[in-house]
């Protein structure tokens, strides 16, 4: 159960609908454990295909332009093994991040029967998502692309065609790390290859013509530099989010809705899977997270101190927003609904 102050109302949806629990269809029967998760989004699928194409392009240039034509066999073998291993781990991490359920809340569980089964006590409330008709746990957010509420949702990434959430954040971190590493490795090899070609005849340093070789190397250099910067920044922000136990959405909401941060080494272990080991860097091992109870984080306690003062404040704000944007009025009305619900209810609008 989560204890929250009366002024702390998070996840108020924009332009919510007035949904009743009777209108929520029962949730579908849960599929077997390990069922593949895939988001049918055109933009996300296109971005995922582009990601694979760019990695395979880098593979082509590294192998057939730089390593295979090289006369230094030790240099070619060592760099070929390292680059291909990192590329394989990057693509494997990408697949796991894309095809793993990020922590979706059961859809359509905001039924009358389920709400009654929670046996709400005085001062307890539950939050309902009007878009997917589900009871929204604490720190869950609705994704308009996945059309589901996601536990500890950080953001929706089109490059992996999925949300980054509680269950797949490890794979996303590994994906950004391995892409940054192969980008750095490719940049170093391109630099050495240019120096080698300048010192020797261009016709001998590649199996392609000199103009084609230059174009392929410049394109790879531009791609590697761009993705090195992008993935390094993403990797840093994700590691910071895990260490501070604060998602990207929560960081954006911090100024308006401050929350107590509880980041620790334990949160890092939960994200990557137990004590530090090589499995942290293995995209084929799952984070050792305990099974989530069906009602975890659903019921939250509203402090009753100065409840009437908060009601009056909310009513005053509602009157002030009569002539403003209707979305703002909806938000204030929603807060008022939660305050008044105090003892028994759940708000129809969240």
The H-assigned helical ranges of the chain are 42-61, 73-99, 112-117, 169-199, 210-244, 248-252, 265-272, 307-320, 326-341
CA distances from 198 to 189, 193, 204, 210, 296 (A): 14, 9, 11, 11, 63
Query: Which of 172, 173, 174 lies closest to 97 in space, CA to CA?
Result: 172
At 206, list the tokens. 């590649």
Query: Which of 150, 135, 134, 159 lies closest to 101 in space, CA to CA?
Result: 150
Distance CA 214, CA 96 (A): 35
Give me the active site residues, please.
157
Burial of residue 17 (number of CB atoms within 10 Å: 0-12, 13-18, 19+): exposed
Place of tokens 């209108």: 23
DSSP string, 281-324: G-TTS---PPPPPTTTTTEEEEP-TTHHHHHHHHHHHHHHTTTS
Residue 93 in contact with residue 283, Cβ under 8 Å? yes
Distance CA 139, CA 169 (A): 15
Distance CA 137, CA 25 (A): 19
Biggest alpha carbon–alpha carbon distance for the chain: 85
């Amino acid at each position: 159960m989560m204890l929250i102050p009366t002024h702390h109302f998070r996840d108020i949806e924009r332009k919510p609908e007035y949904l009743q629990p009777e209108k929520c269809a029962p949730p579908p029967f849960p599929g077997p454990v390990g069922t593949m998760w895939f988001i049918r989004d055109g933009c996300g699928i296109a971005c995922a295909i582009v990601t694979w194409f760019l990695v395979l392009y880098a593979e082509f240039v590294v192998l057939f332009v730089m390593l295979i034509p090289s006369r230094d066999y030790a240099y070619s073998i060592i760099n070929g093994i390292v680059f291909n291993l990192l590329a394989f781990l990057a693509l494997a991490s990408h697949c796991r991040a894309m095809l793993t359920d990020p922590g979706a809340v059961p859809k359509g569980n905001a039924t009358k029967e389920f709400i009654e089964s929670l046996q709400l006590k005085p001062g307890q409330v539950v939050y309902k998502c009007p878009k997917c008709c589900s009871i929204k746990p604490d720190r869950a957010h609705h994704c308009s692309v996945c059309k589901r509420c996601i536990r500890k949702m950080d953001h929706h990434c089109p490059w992996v065609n999925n949300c980054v959430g509680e269950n797949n954040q490890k794979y996303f971190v590994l994906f950004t790390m391995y892409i940054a590493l192969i980008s750095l490795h490719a940049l170093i090899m391109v630099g050495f290859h240019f120096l080698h070609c300048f010192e020797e005849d261009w016709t001998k340093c590649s199996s392609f013509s000199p103009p084609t070789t230059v174009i392929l190397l410049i394109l790879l250099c531009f791609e590697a530099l761009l993705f090195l910067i992008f993935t390094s920044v993403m990797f840093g922000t994700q590691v910071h989010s895990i260490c501070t136990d604060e998602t990207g959405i929560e960081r954006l909401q911090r100024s308006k809705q401050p929350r107590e941060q509880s980041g620790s080494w334990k949160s890092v272990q939960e994200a990557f899977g137990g004590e530090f080991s090589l499995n942290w860097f293995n995209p084929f091992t799952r984070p050792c997270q305990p099974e989530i109870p069906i009602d975890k984080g659903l019921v939250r306690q509203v402090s009753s101190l100065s409840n009437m003062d908060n009601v009056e404040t909310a009513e005053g704000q509602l009157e002030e927003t009569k002539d403003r944007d209707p979305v703002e009025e909806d938000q204030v009305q929603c807060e008022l609904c939660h305050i008044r619900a105090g003892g028994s209810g759940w708000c129809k609008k969240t």
